[in-house]
Amino acid sequence: MDFKFTEEQEAIREMVRDFVDQEMRPRAQAIDEEEKTDFNIINKAAELGLMGVSLPEEYGGIGQGKVGFCIFVEEMSKGCAGTATAIGCHQSIGAMTIVVDGTPEQKQKYLPDMAAGKKIGAFALTEPNAGSDAAAIQTTATKDGDYWILNGRKQWVTNGPFANVVTVFAVTDKGLGAHGGVTAFIVENTFPGYVVGTKDHKMGIRGSESCELIFDNCKVPKENILGQFGAGFLTAMRTLDMGRMTLAAGCLGGAKEALKLSVKHCSERFQFGKPLAEQPVVQQYLAQMAADIYSMESMIYRTAAMADNGQKYSRESAICKLFCSETSGRVIDTAVQLHGGLGYMREHPIERIYRDCRINRIFEGTSEIQKLVIARDVLKKGGY
Amino acid sequence: MRVIVLLKQVPDPGQIGVSRTKGTLFEKGKRILNPADEHVLELAAELKSKEQADFVALASGPEPVVEVLRRAYAFGADQCYHLVEELDEGDHFAKARALAGAIRLIAKERGEVDLVLAGKGSPAWGAGQTGARIAAELELPQALWVAKLRVHGRELEATQLAGGEEQVRRVPMPALVTVDPSANKPRIPNALLLMKAFKREVKKLGLEELGLTPDAFAAGSTQVRIVRTYAPD
Amino acid sequence: MHVTQIVSEKCTGCEDCVFVCTLKAIRMEGGKAVILEHCTDCKDCWKRCGDGAIYSGEASAAAAAGPQKSTEDWRGVLVWLEGDDSGLQTASREVLAAGRRLADDLGVYLEAYLVGGAGAARDAVFRGVDRVHQRAPAATHTGLASAYESPLLGLIRERHFEIVLFPDSLPSWELAPRLAQRLQTTLYPPVSALTVDFETRDLLGTIHAYGGAYFSEVTTGGARPQIALVRGSAFPETSADPSREGEIVQAA
């Protein structure tokens, strides 16, 4: 067992840290106010190759494995969780569907532009009546010669307002249900009948924009079917395995930032004639935060290494998602407490981090869904 | 135009301590690229794009020094050389003689060198002397602590910064220049170049290849020997 | 044991030194002055000599060749000074003070290579320099090294100073490392608290490491000359004494 990051991974971490220090963290508060994805940052990230960290080298990506990608998401999430969501979503669930199930032609057509940040990716699964119950989707696709005609609405699509390449899941055979009846399509925003709906107003991660996407007789060429016909649900699940693990890495980044801010605050803030950090009760909090962070970090990188070794990690990625979203929520909540009144003020980053982290227990499968996934797997295959 | 950048690996200033009993400085973490040298790499990368310069990097020292050369590749270096030696770090005379020898050898291999670039100094002792020493070894004119550098044909227009005052020097090439950190803001290297850097070959040189036998050095007598180090009260 | 020496090539046989020596420690041999054993280094002869033939230290032919095995061949302290007719620059006055103290400790003369006018040369003498090698500033746009490096190198090679001090300034950084490399010797980074080991005559200095977070005491492995940069504000200036005498010669 060797728990050391490679030199390449250390180099990526250092580089992303520089990028976050220079470009992201200083803008995080303003981005939160503006409620807009900062394309200055996206463009700079693209120049530096950071829009294709997870994508294969042969398509212009950096070819980092899951471990490298988790490092990338962790570091970005320290600086600005909203921007990290936009960039992370683009290459984890956005482009990963094509990496996982695309044909060589589809990969050649889409991935180089996505790796270069010229085209932004998104993933459209959730609908007004289908979220946690992904099998209940109502968007339909019907064949019309060389095209498939999509009809329906997808909501809360991250990167939706500006995405160029969207993986859309639609029912192709109502009788077969989730397994066999759902197909994934690569939909470009220029296709006729593709409509961008209203933008969402969110509690946090406001540097990430999401919206409704409407497919009004949207014409999709038949070569844009992604993966096996009728096997869209499998594509979605495989992609979400990675999405959930990287989301956990984002939780870790937020928790680390919260601990760093707390240590600084508790060392500098004097009460009763001494720094807060000298109060035993404060030390207990800090110790628990550190222990939580260490356990999150351990499970994420162990799972990512499993994935890089080609092992199945569906259960483990769900565990990472569940544990890290819940745990980082607690760590960040403690950080707000340690900051006292200051932690409730809009001018302090911890207030934003607190709002930003709440979504982690909800999107890409709620905590409850993760528990369901884990429990089903445990009941089927046994525990550890 | 051919530029050779001299890089140094130094202890991380945030990762050092002093032993009270032994009176010596110890290093707690990995060594890093001398922070001043980041500005040198940036200048070389700019010269590569503006003047189509051949960008060569050279570092000397024991094996781990190769890490700083990866940074040069990440900044777009065309070729990196590692002079493997274990000369005393305080022996500036020997270090300069060895590096000058390596530069001569590289010039033979790749062609004439027009500009040798080095950092202004290091966190440990501040301003450095190796640059000017190498200039003397190679009989090159020099401009030190340069904040702005322009190339006019075969001549350099160098703005030196000393005590808040600027002085403009015109120096014919080939020349040696040390770069003041105010000269530029080092870029964040491209992630793809950064990863490719790990696969690029670093050419190894040895003192014997340079024709430097132990008697080319004054056998350690030229070193600045540290008697003891302590933290001020 | 005295350190006062005669450069016989420069001695014109004028006998002025014999005349001023109250101890009768100088004798003429074959038309050249020779210093005798009982000389006490009072410097009266040296002040009198108008030919620059008397100095502290011994110049051997071997010493001029390159790296020195023997530190015995090197004597005297040289400082690099800059000034104008109103006097010496602050950093130069401090370096002069550091040099004067070392020269006194070692019992040798303090000489200076001065770039500046007559006023600065007088200031240097009044503040303690025994012999000033004065020259006017060179008009240079390519850097100081091109103008002063070889005359300074020539002077050091000729006189074999055991210690050469520079202030911590850009001109010094331009010159000192190049001189050190050509002389195959040590250059101390900016030092404060300069002392000498009386047995080995090695220089001991304190340097500020990591922006002053640590101090390191440094010395040399026996290299000569020992070239050092002197930290600003580390040495209190010597006061100017207009009655003090010294020699001012035109330098190359």
C208 and C121 in one domain? Answer: yes
Write out the two tokens for C124.
């240097």
CB contact under 8 A, A53 and B191: yes
Do the domain assignments include residue B160? no
The number of folded domains in chain B is 1
CB contact under 8 A, B195 and A53: no
Q: Looking only at Cα atoms, what is the longest distance across chain A?
A: 79
Do the domain assignments include residue B130? yes
Do the domain assignments include residue B38? yes
CA–CA dist C56, C63 (Å, integer): 15
Q: Which residues of A touch B67 (CB under 8 A)?
A: 7
CB contact under 8 A, A63 and B195: yes
Q: Which residues contact C29 (CB under 8 A, 6 or more apart)?
A: none
Q: Looking only at Cα atoms, what is the longest distance across chain C?
A: 61
* Distance (Å) of CA A297 to CA A15, A248, A304, A358, A363: 19, 9, 11, 19, 20
Q: Which of B93, B125, B230 comes nearest C189 by C-beta? A: B125
CA–CA dist C230, C232 (Å, integer): 6
Residue type (1 letter), B148: K
C81 and C44 in one domain? Answer: no
Under-70 pLDDT residues of chain B: 218-220
Write out the two tokens for B4.
């050779």
CATH number for the domain harbouring residue C33: 3.30.70.20
Q: What is the DSSP letter of A94?
A: I
In which domain, by residue range, is C52 found?
4-56
Do the domain assignments include residue C193? yes
Do the domain assignments include residue B75? yes
Is the complex ipTM more than 0.90?
yes
Do the domain assignments include residue C192? yes
Considering only CA atoms, give the Rg of chain C. 18
- pLDDT of A210 higher than 70: yes
C208 and C133 in one domain? Answer: yes
C161 and C114 in one domain? Answer: yes
C116 and C15 in one domain? Answer: no
C75 and C51 in one domain? Answer: no
Q: Which residues of C touch B230 (CB under 8 A)?
A: 214-215
* Predicted local distance difference test score (pLDDT) of residue A225: 97
CA of A18: which chain B residue's CA is closest? B188
Write out the two tokens for A5.
């990051």
* Predicted local distance difference test score (pLDDT) of residue B133: 97
Q: Which residues of B touch A48 (CB under 8 A)?
A: 188-191
Do the domain assignments include residue C143? yes
Phi, psi of A95 (to 5 degrees): -90, -20
- pLDDT of C62 higher than 60: no
In which domain, by residue range, is B105 found?
2-13+33-115+122-141+188-216
CA of B198: which chain A residue's CA is closest? A8
**Domains plus CATH for chain A?**
7-115 (1.10.540.10), 121-233 (2.40.110.10), 239-381 (1.20.140.10)
C112 and C39 in one domain? Answer: no
* Predicted local distance difference test score (pLDDT) of residue C67: 47
Confidence of residue C56 (pLDDT cuts 50, 70, 90): low
Do the domain assignments include residue C64? no
φ/ψ region of A63 (left if φ > 0, alpha if ψ in -120 to 50, else beta) reads left
C43 and C79 in one domain? Answer: no
Helices C170-182 and B130-137 meet at what angle, rounded to 10? 50
Do the domain assignments include residue B51? yes
* Predicted local distance difference test score (pLDDT) of residue B165: 83
Write out the two tokens for C99.
């040099």
CB contact under 8 A, A62 and B191: yes
Write out pLDDT tens, residues A271-301: 999 999 999 999 999 999 999 999 999 999 9
Q: Which residues of C touch B145 (CB under 8 A)?
A: 170, 173
Write out the two tokens for C96.
């002069």
- Which chains touch B (3+ CB pairs under 8 A)? A, C
Do the domain assignments include residue B225? no
Do the domain assignments include residue C89? yes
Do the domain assignments include residue C61? no
Mean residue pLDDT of chain C comes to 86
Mean residue pLDDT of chain A comes to 96
Do the domain assignments include residue C157? yes
* Predicted local distance difference test score (pLDDT) of residue A91: 94
Write out the two tokens for A313.
């990690």
CB contact under 8 A, C178 and B135: yes
C223 and C107 in one domain? Answer: yes
% pLDDT > 90, chain C: 54
CATH number for the domain harbouring residue B39: 3.40.50.620
Phi, psi of B173 (to 5 degrees): -90, 150
CATH number for the domain harbouring residue C90: 3.40.50.620
The number of folded domains in chain C is 2
Indicate which of B195, B198, B199 best probes the interface with A, i.e. most A CBs within 10 Å of its own CB.
B195
C25 and C100 in one domain? Answer: no
